[in-house]
Structure 1
């Protein structure tokens, strides 16, 4: 089952097409869900009104002519004279990025945290044990946790669940960026789901990664004792 701060809003049944023009959902070739669009538009509109920052969400199947995701975002940012933050998801490459213009906007949100592959500190610990090649690698992995996009994209799904997973992951990340930008301006967003459900999500993820850590402990324990028996 997929968990997110925006899951409750996204699973509402939608049986009509919304005619509202999508301003903040800049492009969507992936989800194509009116309810998803309305949720993004609501957050983006409130954020712009309270902070003056335009937060775009871009979701494309793939990029053409071997264009990088950062170059694609730069082309979009060049179209606006506003303070703009662009969150982009490329489905076939499973790649997510966030670009801010002017660059001073990066201080308004924690890009490394939002795009961390680890949802919790426990997950970061597991990653450091499994993948760190040096102490510096381990410190970097441990310092970046609390990811709100990639951990959801990494969850297994099939059929229609795949699009639902994309919806949850990108809504989760978009809301996280918006809330952080708003907070940096001394504002709160009523249109976003807030931190209450995020606490519940963190508990679920803590249990999940705790299970992984337990499994790793059992694996190494059995391997150690098997070597002792062989000796």
Structure 2
């Protein structure tokens, strides 16, 4: 009986620190983010914190105004970055400690252009029912990647920017085809002009 009790105490002592120090990326969620997305955010956020010491958080509200969600940043450990989404206000923002915000380009993440931004293009696409989860996950991962890049690091749990890379490749192919077609057209016109 004593061996079982000692074994149970040993297991409890070993697992308590894991529970105490588990990183929670989502500091506020009003039934906007799914459990699966929250878990993915926790993995990325934990790795980012372990490697850089920067806390990256999310606050997502369905009916809570953006201004209320932005106040959450003051309660968080520093240095921090907080990605905020308010469905009711139809707004997204990124706030954080002054130091942490200098490590990446916030305006690029929030850009409405698909080649640059990772949040607003998804929210405005209206394709699919789960645009909020996709937008937050993409934006969070983009911020994490940008912070890691600033410190010369690579995140193992990064989801990357596959959508942006695919769009850029398609854009290059499209413009390349247009240029080729124009050059071919001009060349044919010049040949005809010579033969006349």
Normalised to the residue count of structure 2, the TM-score between the two structures is 0.70
User: 2:96 matched to 1:115?
Assistant: no
> How well do the aligned residues superpose, as a CA RMSD in angstroms?
2.4
- Corresponding position of 1:184: 150
What stretches of structure 1 of length at least 5 have no aligned partner? Answer: 1-20, 121-145, 211-231
Q: Who is 1:94 aligned against?
A: 90
Larger radius of gyration: 2
Give the equivalent residue in structure 2 for 1:106: 101
Q: Which runs of 4+ in 1 moved over 3 A?
A: 195-198, 201-204
> In structure 2, do the counterparts of structure 1 residues 91 and 202 end up closer, same or farther at CA, with 3 Å as the change threshold?
farther
Aligned to 1:85: 81
Equivalences, count = 153
Contact 1:119 1:202 in 2 (8 A): no
2:121 maps to which of 148, 151, 154 = 151
Distance in 1 of aligned mates of 2:74 and 2:113:
32
Provide the residue aligned with 1:31 in structure 2: 32
- Tell me: higher relative CO, structure 1 or 2? Use CA pairs within 8 A at least 6 residues apart: 1
Instruction: Report the CA distance between 1:196 and its aligned residue.
Output: 5.0
Return the offset for 1:22: 7.0
The 3-state SS of whatever aligns with 1:108 is: coil
Cα deviations by residue, 1:201-225 (Å, 9 ceiling, x for unpaired)? 4345x49x98xxxxxxxxxxxxxxx
Query: 1:30 touches 1:91 (CA, 8 Å); kept in 2?
Result: no
Aligned to 1:54: 55
Whole-angstrom distance in 2 between the partners of 1:115 and 1:52: 23
